[in-house]
Amino acid sequence: MTTTEAGTEAPSAPEAGHTPEPTTVAETDRPAAATVHGYHEQKAEHLKRLRRIEGQIRGLQRMVDEDTYCIDILTQVSASTKALQSFALQLLEEHLRHCVADAALRGGDEIDAKVEEATKAIARLLRT
């Protein structure tokens, strides 16, 4: 830890050659070499879109706090849900075009694993 000008401790930079521990179980299932993802080229646009969705969710909180009419809140919930679904579909398309296509070029068992992974992701999206 390092001390900032305000006197609070800030996390130190990782040591050279040190890889931080994965923070979720899902991260441990991913190969360490896969550092460029299908969404990489649109990362800035995705972050902008997610910030807009975050604003919609904060708007929902504000609506509840201000005792807004139920139907108006439900309309905003629907819009927020649709925005997240649209984002998920875009991300899925990029995954198919990049990760699954790359695995297809390599051949072998990797393509089967990527197709199964994509199929499970689609199934999760359909359940929502």
What are the angstrom distances between the C-alpha of 71 and each of 76, 82, 124?
9, 16, 27
What's the rounded mean pLDDT across residues 59-78? 97
According to DSSP, the residues that pair with 2 across neighbouring strands are 10
- Provide the pLDDT for residue 26: 45
**Euclidean distance between the first and the last CA atom of the chain, given in angstroms as a whole number:** 42
Q: What is the DSSP letter of 16?
A: T
Nearest-angstrom CA–CA distance, 15 and 8 = 21
Could you tell me what percentage of the chain is helix, strand and coil, using 3-state DSSP and rounding each to the nearest 5?
65, 5, 30
pLDDT, tens digit (0-9, with 9 covering 90-100), for 10-67:
444 444 444 444 433 344 454 444 456 767 778 899 999 999 999 999 999 999 999 9
Average pLDDT of every residue of the chain: 79
Query: Residue 73's pLDDT band (boundaries 50, 70, 90)?
Result: very high
